[in-house]
Amino acid sequence: MSNLEINRKICGLLNLEQKTIGVLSGPNTSAVLTELGWKNWAGNIADAWELFEEMPIQSKIVKTEGENCWTCWVGENGSGFASRTAPIAICMAWIKWKDGK
At residue 30 the predicted structure's pLDDT band, cuts being 50, 70 and 90, is low
Buried b (16+ CB within 10 A) or exposed e, 5-29: ebbbbbbeeeeeeeeebbebeeeeb
For residue 20, pLDDT beyond 60? no
DSSP 83: E
For residue 49, pLDDT beyond 90? yes
Q: Is pLDDT larger for residue 77 or for residue 51?
A: 51
| Predicted pLDDT at 91 | 96
Tell me which of 3.10.129.10, 3.30.2120.10, 3.50.50.60, 3.40.50.12170 is the CATH number of domain 3-99: 3.30.2120.10
Q: How far apart are CA 69 and CA 50, in angstroms?
A: 21
Task: Kindly state the average pLDDT of the residues 49-68.
Answer: 88
DSSP secondary structure letters along 36-74:
TT---TTT-HHHHHHHHTTS-TT-EEEEPTTSS-EEEE-
- Stretch (H or E) spanning 81: strand 80-83
Other beta carbons less than 10 A from residue 35's beta carbon = 9
For residue 65, pLDDT beyond 90? no
